[in-house]
């Protein structure tokens, strides 16, 4: 009898413990938050009524358990009777580790923050100019801004692990999952679908487009908008012995030297850039591949031309063995003024505390001179316009992600030898399977991190269907929309791309 009572007590206890654990598991995952507001504003000369939904979307594992919360802000035009003709554009930035704040508050959002258009002033301290985006695109497309896991308000929850999201393939899988879920919940499977990505966001865009073809739910995209593309990292990694990067960066150095009046005097930027292209293809590439086989006379000829294009001293170029690393160019171009130029945008200049360091010590002037304005503007806008009230800070960037990012492209256990990241080949394959997909590539002349010539080099290869690719150029850098004339031009170019 005592044994039966003991077993009964044990059974009851086990059920109680299990119930408590289940209760705690449920309790640890709060209800997803959603903030809905209604607005009306002018876009493309039209008055548009739209609904803004800022919310958490829970991603679930194969057991149906919520394991991640992805934050997004969707702007949807009201009173649209036929959504099959209304495009949907998913927007994200890069990093990896960056939230969508830059494209949200700088280019596509209903309200945007303005920094000095000519890159002559730091953003300073609050308050900052937050203005209506009269060049916004809500008249031609609905917009969904997405923050990858670990950025913005997005995070793992419950049994979720960051390792399941912080990686090239893992990240693409989660974004694709979110897109399918959003499209299904909002009944938009017949709507034209686009992705707009910037920097690593373009790496992600190509990978997501490829991922969306699988998983038993093939979702074909109508197009990709690649702002400051970074598909093949060979051409955007300025390190010793990477011959490709010496070639892809040179025309951007020439353009930046032209901007700072160190080279190309009396010539238009277009003609000077074209001259540097031809030199790179026809003369510089063979010289780099000959390397130590060049004669002294040949070295001198190449050094003189490199000095002509970059504005750097010939003797310095010879000491550099005809190979100019980008961080050194940043310090050397305006060394006579004691200034270092920006990496994201070569128009920016920073007053360094060490004029003889090999690379900028204080960071990227084109980043720290605008980031405070963007961060403050987004937080203010969320609170004042969208009524967002969250229990944690919005991470515009997360420094932990980059150091933990998994670049491996094949499953564990399968042989893999590290190579430069390249999703361009995936894009080429996707374009050939999806004959309606078009691509817009937007490049800044003064972008010294993802150079415009690298875009040309990448899209000339990798089986990409060039007839469906549109290349556009701007007289600014990585975030060309910080330059007012380019902000207007980029908006016009994207509008034309979405409506053609």
Structure token pair of residue 147 = 């923050």
The pLDDT of residue 28 is 78
Read off the pLDDT band of 494 (50, 70, 90).
very high
Structure token pair of residue 244 = 């490709």
Q: For 311-336, what is the mean pLDDT? A: 97
Helical segments of 260-370, H only: 269-279, 285-290, 296-310, 314-319, 326-332, 365-368
Q: Which helix (H) or strand (E) holds 77?
A: strand 66-77
- Tell me: the pLDDT tens digits for 5-38? 444 434 434 444 344 334 434 447 889 999 999 9
CATH 3.40.50.1820: does it fit domain 34-233+370-499?
yes
The pLDDT of residue 355 is 82
Q: For 92-105, what is the mean pLDDT? A: 97
Read off the pLDDT band of 202 (50, 70, 90).
very high
For residue 341, how far is the Cα from the chain centroid? 21
Cβ–Cβ < 8 Å for 478, 447: yes
The pLDDT of residue 20 is 38
C-alpha dist (Å) from residue 102 to 23, 197, 371: 40, 11, 9
Cβ–Cβ < 8 Å for 130, 381: yes
The pLDDT of residue 359 is 85
The pLDDT of residue 323 is 97
- Tell me: the pLDDT tens digits for 465-481? 999 999 999 999 999 99
Q: For 244-270, what is the mean pLDDT? A: 98
The pLDDT of residue 412 is 86
Read off the pLDDT band of 249 (50, 70, 90).
very high
Closest CA to 409 of 233, 185, 145, 148: 233
Cβ–Cβ < 8 Å for 100, 93: yes
DSSP lists the bridge partners of residue 132 as 111
- Tell me: the pLDDT tens digits for 412-438? 889 988 889 999 999 999 999 999 999
Q: Could you tell me the pTM of the whole model?
A: 0.93
- Alpha-carbon span 80 to 401, nearest angstrom: 39
- Tell me: the pLDDT tens digits for 142-179? 999 999 999 999 999 999 999 999 999 999 999 999 99
Q: Considering the chain, what percentage of its residues have pLDDT values greater than 70?
A: 95
Cβ–Cβ < 8 Å for 56, 67: no
The pLDDT of residue 429 is 97
Q: Which helix (H) or strand (E) holds 340?
A: strand 339-341
Return mean pLDDT, the chain: 93
The pLDDT of residue 26 is 46
- Tell me: the pLDDT tens digits for 360-405? 888 889 999 999 999 999 999 999 999 999 999 999 999 999 999 9
- Tell me: the pLDDT tens digits for 35-81? 999 999 999 999 999 999 999 999 999 999 999 999 999 999 999 99
DSSP lists the bridge partners of residue 75 as 52, 143
- Alpha-carbon span 93 to 367, nearest angstrom: 14
What are the residue boundaries of the structural domains of the chain, listed by start?
A: 34-233+370-499, 250-365
């Amino acid at each position: 009898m005592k044994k039966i009572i003991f077993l009964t007590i044990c059974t009851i206890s086990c059920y109680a413990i299990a119930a408590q654990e289940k209760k705690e598991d449920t309790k640890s995952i709060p209800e997803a938050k959603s903030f809905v507001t209604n607005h009306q504003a002018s876009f493309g000369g039209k008055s548009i009524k739209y609904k803004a939904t800022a919310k958490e979307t829970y991603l679930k594992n194969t057991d149906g358990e919520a394991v991640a919360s992805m934050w997004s802000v969707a702007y949807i035009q009201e009173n649209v009777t036929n959504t099959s003709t209304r495009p949907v554009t998913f927007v994200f930035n890069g990093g990896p580790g960056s939230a969508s704040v830059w494209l949200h508050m700088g280019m596509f959002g209903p309200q945007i923050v303005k920094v000095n258009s000519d890159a002559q002033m730091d953003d300073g301290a609050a308050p900052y100019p937050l203005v209506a985006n009269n060049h916004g695109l809500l008249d031609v497309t609905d917009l969904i801004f997405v923050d990858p896991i670990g950025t913005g308000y997005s995070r793992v929850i419950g049994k979720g692990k960051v390792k399941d999201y912080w990686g090239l393939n893992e990240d693409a899988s989660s974004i694709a999952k979110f897109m399918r879920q959003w499209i299904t919940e909002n009944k938009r499977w017949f709507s034209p679908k686009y992705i707009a990505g910037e920097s690593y966001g373009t790496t992600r865009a190509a990978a997501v487009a490829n991922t969306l073809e699988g998983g038993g739910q093939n979702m074909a995209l109508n197009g990709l908008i690649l702002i400051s593309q970074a598909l093949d990292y060979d051409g955007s990694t300025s390190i010793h012995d990477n011959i490709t990067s010496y070639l892809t960066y040179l025309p951007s150095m020439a353009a930046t030297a032209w901007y700072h009046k160190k080279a190309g005097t009396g010539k238009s930027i277009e003609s000077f850039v074209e001259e540097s292209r031809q030199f790179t293809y026809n003369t510089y590439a063979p010289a780099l591949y000959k390397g130590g086989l060049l004669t002294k006379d040949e070295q001198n000829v190449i050094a003189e031309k490199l000095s002509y294009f970059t504005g750097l001293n010939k003797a310095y170029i010879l000491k550099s063995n005809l190979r100019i690393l980008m961080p050194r160019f940043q310090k050397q171009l305006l060394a006579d003024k004691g200034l270092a130029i920006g990496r994201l945008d070569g128009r920016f200049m920073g007053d360094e505390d060490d004029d003889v360091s090999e690379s900028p010590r204080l960071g990227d002037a084109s980043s720290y001179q605008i980031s405070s304005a963007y961060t403050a503007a987004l937080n203010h806008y969320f609170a004042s316009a969208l009524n967002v009230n969250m229990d944690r800070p919005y991470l515009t960037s997360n420094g932990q992600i980059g150091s933990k990012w998994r670049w491996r492209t094949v499953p564990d256990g399968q042989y893999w030898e590290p190579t430069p990241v390249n999703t361009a080949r995936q894009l080429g394959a996707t374009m050939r399977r999806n004959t309606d997909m078009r691509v817009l590539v937007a490049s800044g002349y003064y972008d010294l991190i993802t150079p415009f010539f690298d875009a040309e080099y990448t899209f000339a290869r990798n089986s990409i269907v060039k007839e469906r690719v549109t290349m556009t150029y701007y007289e600014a850098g990585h975030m060309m929309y910080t330059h007012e004339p380019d902000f207007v031009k980029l908006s016009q170019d994207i509008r034309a791309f979405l409506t053609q």
